[in-house]
Amino acid sequence: MLKIILGTRGSQLARWQTAWVAARLRERAPNLEIEITPITTYGDTRTDAPLAQIGGQGLFTREIEAALIAGKIDLAVHSLKDVPTEIPPGLTLAAICEREDARDVLVTRHHCALRDLPHGARIGTSSLRRAAQLRTYRADFQIVNLRGNVDTRLRKSETDAYDAIVLAAAGLIRLGHTNRIAEFLSPDVMLPAPGQGALAVQIRADDADTRALVTPLDHAPTRAAIEAERAFLRALGGGCQVPLAAFAQVSGDALHLRGLIASEDGTRVVRGQVQSAVSDAESLGKKLAHELQIKE
């Protein structure tokens, strides 16, 4: 293999993530020619409405996966939380890279923690998951729609339209914006989205050469955690239109999974946690989903 084409969304964060994967590939194959192809997805073009309103899964992956299936690119780099739980036939996630910090963070011009924001604070997010947990934490919060890439959201956070915004820690860390973080939000307050902070490298299932190149990027503990989280999500039929959260962590041979189902207004939240052997990740996710459905 002399050349490989990587497909990605065009945002600064997506390009950073793809460049990171490209650098890891070059470490293994210094003579490899790498081309990065930005692809515009439907989710990128619809920044005028909340994600829940434009609906459906694969908003940020569908066009990239189509290019992969058509052979226009050799692999795709995705933020794993954007990848639907059902992978198109003929494609596979050949590597799940080591996870960055999975937590959400608060960015605010008030330079304070979440608990210290003024009464009736306007908090920007387009995520039903974040909105529901914010309302659970403090019913006086006003949730204001926030779309756009990381830099756009950071610029908006400085305007009077928002008292604060909530973003994924991983994106700010990767882009060197940790100085903008007012508070890392505890999972007890803001449980992350399934897959948050992890990168997925997707290839055609029958492409043995690319698989051999990419497989060493796979991080087994992260894959186990992600498999549990995605099994939880899959069992509940979740996507952008349901406030769901899941976060798994590996400790030795044990896998611990926390999950949450909420109403959109945050008035009803069902939480749970389970633990198993790392090898039982898929079953663990299904088990927690079942337990929370019973509690509902």
| Ordered DSSP codes for 221-276 | HHHHHHHHHHHHHHHTT-STTS-EEEEEEEETTEEEEEEEEE-TTSS-EEEEEEEE
Neighbours of 115 (CB within 10 A): 9
Count of positions (residues) in the chain: 296
Are the C-beta atoms of 275 and 255 separated by less than 8 Å? yes
Per residue, the 3-state secondary structure of 85-122, as one string, reads: CCCCCCEEEEEECCCCCCCEEEEECCCCCHHHCCCCCE
Active-site annotation holds for 82: yes
Residue 245 corresponds to which tokens in the numbers above? Answer: 């959260």
53-91: buried (b, 16+ CB within 10 Å) or exposed (e) per residue? Answer: ebeebbbbbbbbbbbbeeeebbbbbbbbbbbbbeeeeeb
**Selected catalytic residue, list 82, 104, 163, 207:** 82
141-179: buried (b, 16+ CB within 10 Å) or exposed (e) per residue? Answer: bebbebbebbeebbebbeeeebbbbbbbbbbbebbebee
Are the C-beta atoms of 184 and 103 separated by less than 8 Å? yes
So which residues are the catalytic ones?
A: 82
